């Protein structure tokens, strides 16, 4: 029985990843930033094969704790970076835990023995920090793929910038360590949607669904979405979890960073579908996931089906 360590394994996306690995008979170690707050991870204890689950305290900025967490793991999944839109201090709330945490993680795993695979849950921000908008210099009908040169602007949201710079750390590590004994693969989802496996109320992804459904704009980012009625690329949380599992268990994917995306709809149409009404406009493809379909075998759930069943 192999062991997988999942940093962020009790979050919105991470819970689905933990679920898959447990169902596939892995021993699973999940990190918790607050081990005393059981409400953050108690939903995992009800999953199939949860007797193979271990919850461990971890702050990704603590190298010693990281070393203890990764020890004995055959596979590591790093999805433990903050996702928040309301930010007062981008440096301490997003950039430090995301970029410094990634740098520390890379330093620790470079010394790890017996490790076979590492998967980073990156973000569409690693490819385009202006998401969901196209960069101003790009044509409006541009379709993003892994052939694009990643785009970053310091005018874009700090969350996207943090994910971009974290991915640069991963690319740099891969380039500077051509002889490492394990593979590194990244997946970069667009807006992740779906129902939460927990009853927690602190999920930014689920919160975004609520705001769009009810047309509530509590911050400039969401105000922009409604004002521009932008095309918003989405992907089902179950597809993201499956992509992570396939990336972790498929050999020969070293160095790749896969766009994980489905159809795009206008924000107004997403709101309609979240209220079980048909969209007024057709879907479009803004982010191409052909490579993920080919290499990871993902058969994406239609966005309309996911939206119609979201809580």
The per-residue pLDDT for 311 is: 59
Going from the N-terminus, what domains does the chain have, and what CATH number goes with each? 3-308 (3.40.50.720)
Judge whether residue 268 has pLDDT over 90. yes
CA distance 244 to 260: 10
What pTM does this model have?
Answer: 0.94
Report residue 97's pLDDT band, with 50, 70 and 90 as the boundaries. Answer: confident
Judge whether residue 293 has pLDDT over 90. yes
> pLDDT by residue (tens digit) across 17-58?
999 999 999 999 999 888 888 888 999 999 999 999 999 998
CB-hemisphere CA count at 13 Å for 40? Answer: 17
Report residue 89's pLDDT band, with 50, 70 and 90 as the boundaries. Answer: confident
Judge whether residue 278 has pLDDT over 80. yes
Judge whether residue 174 has pLDDT over 80. yes
Judge whether residue 165 has pLDDT over 90. yes
The per-residue pLDDT for 94 is: 83
The per-residue pLDDT for 136 is: 86
CA distance 179 to 177: 6
Average the pLDDT over 182-189 and give the result. Answer: 98
- Scanning the structure block, which residue is given the tokens 């590194």? 184
Judge whether residue 80 has pLDDT over 80. no
């Amino acid at each position: 029985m192999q062991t997988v360590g999942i940093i962020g394994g009790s979050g919105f996306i991470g819970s689905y990843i933990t679920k898959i690995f447990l169902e596939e008979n892995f021993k699973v170690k999940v990190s918790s930033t607050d081990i005393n707050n059981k409400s953050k991870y108690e939903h995992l204890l009800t999953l199939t094969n949860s007797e193979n689950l271990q919850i461990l305290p971890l702050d990704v900025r603590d190298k010693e704790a990281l070393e203890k967490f990764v020890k004995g793991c055959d596979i590591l999944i790093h999805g433990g970076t903050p996702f928040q839109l309301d930010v007062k201090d981008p440096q301490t709330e997003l950039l430090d835990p995301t970029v410094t945490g990634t740098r520390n993680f890379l330093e620790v795993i470079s010394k790890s023995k017996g490790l076979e695979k590492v998967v980073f849950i990156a973000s569409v921000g690693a490819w385009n920090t202006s998401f969901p908008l196209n960069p101003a210099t790009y044509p409006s009908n541009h379709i993003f793929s892994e052939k694009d040169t990643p785009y970053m602007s310091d005018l874009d949201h700090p969350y996207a910038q943090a994910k971009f710079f974290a991915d640069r750390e991963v690319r740099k590590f891969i380039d500077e360590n051509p002889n490492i004994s394990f593979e590194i693969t990244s997946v970069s989802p667009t807006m992740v949607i779906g129902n939460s496996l927990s009853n927690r109320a602190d999920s930014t992804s689920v919160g975004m669904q609520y705001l769009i459904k009810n047309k509530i704009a509590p911050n400039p980012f969401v105000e922009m979405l409604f004002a521009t009625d932008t095309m918003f690329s989405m992907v089902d949380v179950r597809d993201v979890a499956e992509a992570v599992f396939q990336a972790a268990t498929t050999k020969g994917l070293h160095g790749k960073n896969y766009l994980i995306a489905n159809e795009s709809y206008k924000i107004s149409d997403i709101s309609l579908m979240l209220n079980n009404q048909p969209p007024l406009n057709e879907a479009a493809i803004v982010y191409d996931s052909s490579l993920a379909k080919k290499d990871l075998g993902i058969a994406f759930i239609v966005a309309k089906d996911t939206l119609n069943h979201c809580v």
